[in-house]
Structure 1
Amino acid sequence: MSRDFNKILNYSLLKISLIPLMLWLISTLVFILLRVAPGDPVDAILGSGANEASRELLRSKLGLNESLLNQYLTFINNILHLNFGESLSTQEPVFNIILKSLPASLELGIFSIFFAILIGFPLGFLSIKYKGKKGDYIARLIGIASYAIPPFWGAMIVQLILSVYLRIFPIGGRFPIIHSQPNITGFLILDSLIDNNIVYLRDSIYHLALPSLTLGFLLSGIFSRSLRINLDKTIKSDYVKAALTRGITRRKIVFNHALPNSLLPIVTIAGLTIASLAGGALLFEVTFSWPGIALRLYEAITQRDYTVVQGIVIVTSFLIVSLNLLVDIFIALLDPRIEY
C-alpha cells in the first residue's frame, strides 16, 4: 500500500512540476502573438485622430516604447508576482476583472455539465438497451445532432424560439438589470442562498436555465456516445459473459460490473470538458450576453486590450492545466493498470 502511495505521489509531483513550464510556454506564445498581431492598442484607446504627443505619452505610460525584450522581461516578472497590470481601456486591475468574470463562467459550466450528464447518460443507456432497434437509432441521432450543431447557432435558434417568440426565458444576461445582484462569492445562486433571498434565487435560476440547458444539450452527445461505446465494449468482455452463464441478471451485471468499468474513459472526457469550459464557451457567452470570462476576453480582443487578454489567457490556462492534473491523478487512483 505504501509503495502504491509513493508511486502516486511521485506521479503527481512529476505532473505538478510540468505546470510552470506549460504556463511559461503559453504566456510566451500569448505575448508574441499579441505583439505581432495587426493594430495598435494606442489607436484603440485614443482613436486614430489623436495627436502624436498624446500617442507618445500613452505609449510611454504603457511601456510600449521599450524594446520587446524589456517588455517581455517585465511581463514575466509581473506574472511571477501575480501582477497582471491594468486594463488599457478602463484602467481597472486585470485581476479584479478576472475575479468578477470567472464565477459567471464557472457557474454556467457546472450547470451545463450537470445537464449534459442528465441528458447524455439516459440516451447512452437507451441506445444500449435497444441496440440495433428504433430506440437505438433515435438516441444516436439525438447524440450526433447535439454534437454536430455549432454552439452559437444552436444558442441563437433557442433564443429565437423560447425568448423572442414564446417569451418563456430572458434572451440574455445573468440577472435582471432593475435589481442590484448579490455579490458575496460571485456565484449568484450560492449568494442568493447565503443571503436567504428567494427572489434573487428565482431570478438567478431563471436567467441561468436557458443557457445552461442549451449548452448542456449540445455537450450531451459527447457523454451519450462515450457511454454507449464503452458500455457496449464492456458488455462483450469475457467476464460479463461468464457472469451471464452463472445466472446473474443482466441488470445487475450492467450496473454492478459493466458500468463502473465503463466510467473511466467518461471521467476523462468529463474532466477535459469541464476544463475547456473553465474559460467559458466564447461564442456561446457572446450570444447569450453572459458576463463571463469568455465574453470579457472577446471584448478585450476587439479593443486590443493586451493586459486583459494576457491575464485571462494565463489564468484560464492555469485552471485547465490544474483540472487536467486532477483528472489524471483521479484516474490513476481508480485504475490500477495506470503506469506511474
Structure 2
Amino acid sequence: MLRFLFRRLAVVIPTFIGITIVAFAFVRVLPGDPVLLLAGERGVSPERYQALMAQFGFDRPIWVQYWDYLVGIFQGDFGTSISTKRPVIRDFLTLFPATVELSLFATLFAVLVGVPAGILAAVRRGSWFDQVTMGTALVGYSMPIFWLGLLLIILFSGVLGWTPVSGRISLMYFFPPVTGFMTIDALLSGQKGALQSALHHLVLPTVTLGTIPLAVIARQTRSAMLEVLGDDYVRTARSKGLSPLRVIGLHAFRNAMIPVVTTIGLQVGVMMAGAILTETIFSWPGIGKWMIDAISRRDYPVVQAGLLLIAVVIMFVNLFVDLLYGLINPRIRHQ
C-alpha cells in the first residue's frame, strides 16, 4: 500500500508545479491594470504609477516574478492582497470552511439521492421509474447552475416563502466562529433555533450546487450496475437463493463501485467550479464569491492563490479516490 501511495505522490509534485504555472499565467492575461484600478477613477501620476509597480513587484521580469511567487509558496507565503492588504492565506482559511460546508452538504445530497436512484433504475430497467429517473437526471444535468438557482429562489423564497434568499444564518443569531462551519458553530453556541436556521439557509444552495453531480452520479451508477447485473457471479448468487438485497448490495454494487467512486471524486471539481456561481447567487461568503470579487479588482495575489489552493484541494481529493481504489479492489494496488 505504501508503494502505491508513493507512486501517486510522485505524480502530485509535477502536477503541482504545472498548476502554479497556469495560475501565474492566468492572471497576467486578464484585461485591466491592477495598479490603475487601485488608484481609482482620478488616475495616478506617472511617478506614482511607477512607485506602485515597484511596490507590488510588477516592474520586474516575468520569470523573476514567477520565481519569487514559487519560492514564496514553498515558504508558506501566498502573498498579500492588493486591495485589503491582508495575507491571502489568512483570508482563504477564513472563507474556505464556508465553501467546504456547502460542498459537503451538496455532495451528501448528490450521493444519498443519486446512488440509490441509479441502483433502482438499473434493477427496474425499462420501467416507468427508470425512464422518469433518467429523464429527470438529463434535465438536471442540462440546467445551468445560475438559472436553477434563480428559479429556486423565485419559487421557494419569493412565491412560497419557505426558504431564505441568501446568507448562512439569520441575522437574529450572533456568536463568535469556532470552526468556521456554521452548522457546527450554531450547535456549539447553544442558542435555540440557531442550528435550524443554519440548515434552513443551506437548503437552496445545496440543491443548486448538488443537482448536476446528482444527475451524473445517478446515470453512472445505473450504467455500472447494468454492466455487472448480467455477469455470471450475479446469476450464481441468485441461483443460490440469496435475497435480492444481498445480491444487489453485496455482490453487484460492490463490483460496480469503482466507476461510481471515480465519478464522485471527479464531481469535486464540478463542486468547486459551481460554488463560484452558487455563492454569488446566494451571497454565500465563501471562496467562490471571494474569487469573483478578486477578479473584478484584478487582485493578482488573491486570484493566483485561490486558483492554486482550489486546484490543490481537487488534486488531493483525486489522490484520496486513488487510494480508495486500492481498498475497494486490491488488484489495483498490485498492478
Under TM normalisation by the shorter chain, which class is it? over 0.9
What is residue 3 of structure 1 aligned with on the other side?
Answer: none
Shift of 1:78: 0.9
Matched, 1:264 2:258: yes
What is residue 298 of structure 1 aligned with on the other side?
Answer: 292
What is residue 319 of structure 1 aligned with on the other side?
Answer: 313
What is residue 151 of structure 2 aligned with on the other side?
Answer: 157
Aligned length: 333
Matched, 1:139 2:136: no
**Structure 1 residues not aligned, in runs of 5+:** 1-7
Matched, 1:51 2:44: yes
Select the residue among 100, 117, 122 that pairs with 1:123.
Answer: 117
2:210–2:271 Cα contact (<8 Å) kept: no
Matched, 1:289 2:283: yes
Matched, 1:328 2:335: no
**One-letter code of the match for 1:45?**
L
Larger displacement relative to structure 2 (174-183 or 253-262):
174-183
Shift of 1:280: 5.7
What is residue 247 of structure 1 aligned with on the other side?
Answer: 241
Select the residue among 73, 80, 91 that pairs with 1:79.
Answer: 73
1:169–1:206 Cα contact (<8 Å) kept: yes
In the aligned structure 1, how far is the partner of 2:44 from the partner of 2:291? 29
Deviations 1:78-111 (CA, angstroms, capped at 9, x unpaired): 1111111111111121011101111011000101
Equivalent residues in 2 for 1:185-204 (5 A)? 185-204=179-198
In the aligned structure 1, how far is the partner of 2:320 from the partner of 2:6? 12
1:119–1:217 Cα contact (<8 Å) kept: no
In the aligned structure 2, how far is the partner of 1:293 from the partner of 1:23? 20
Shift of 1:14: 1.7
Matched, 1:16 2:22: no
In the aligned structure 1, how far is the partner of 2:223 from the partner of 2:323? 24
Shift of 1:278: 4.8
Deviations 1:190-238 (CA, angstroms, capped at 9, x unpaired): 1122233333212211111221123223321112111111111111001
1:280–1:292 Cα contact (<8 Å) kept: no
What is residue 34 of structure 2 aligned with on the other side?
Answer: 41
In the aligned structure 2, how far is the partner of 1:269 from the partner of 1:258? 17
1:119–1:220 Cα contact (<8 Å) kept: yes
Matched, 1:167 2:161: yes
Change (3 A) 1:285 1:209: same
1:103–1:187 Cα contact (<8 Å) kept: yes
In the aligned structure 2, how far is the partner of 1:279 from the partner of 1:196? 34
Shift of 1:294: 1.1
SS of corresponding position for 1:38: coil
SS of corresponding position for 2:202: helix
1:146–1:217 Cα contact (<8 Å) kept: yes
Change (3 A) 1:51 1:94: same
Matched, 1:32 2:25: yes
Q: Scaled by the length of structure 2, what TM-score is found?
A: 0.93
**Structure 2 residues not aligned, in runs of 5+:** none
Larger displacement relative to structure 2 (38-47 or 121-130):
121-130
In the aligned structure 2, how far is the partner of 1:264 from the partner of 1:192? 36
Change (3 A) 1:107 1:60: same
Shift of 1:48: 4.8
Equivalent residues in 2 for 1:87-102 (5 A)? 87-102=81-96
In the aligned structure 1, how far is the partner of 2:94 from the partner of 2:273? 13
Select the residue among 204, 223, 228 that pairs with 1:234.
Answer: 228
2:182–2:198 Cα contact (<8 Å) kept: yes
**One-letter code of the match for 1:293?**
I
Deviations 1:259-285 (CA, angstroms, capped at 9, x unpaired): 211122111211222354356622122
Shift of 1:185: 1.0
1:105–1:280 Cα contact (<8 Å) kept: no
Shift of 1:182: 3.5
Larger displacement relative to structure 2 (202-211 or 53-62):
53-62
Q: Scaled by the length of structure 1, what TM-score is found?
A: 0.92
Select the residue among 287, 302, 309 that pairs with 2:303.
Answer: 309
Change (3 A) 1:17 1:295: same
Quote the RMSD (CA, aligned, Å). Answer: 1.8
Deviations 1:6-60 (CA, angstroms, capped at 9, x unpaired): xx21121121122222111111122122223321001111125322233222222
In the aligned structure 1, how far is the partner of 2:59 from the partner of 2:324? 48
In the aligned structure 2, how far is the partner of 1:249 from the partner of 1:315? 47
SS of corresponding position for 2:78: coil
Larger displacement relative to structure 2 (150-159 or 278-287):
278-287
**One-letter code of the match for 1:192?**
A
In the aligned structure 2, how far is the partner of 1:66 from the partner of 1:177? 47
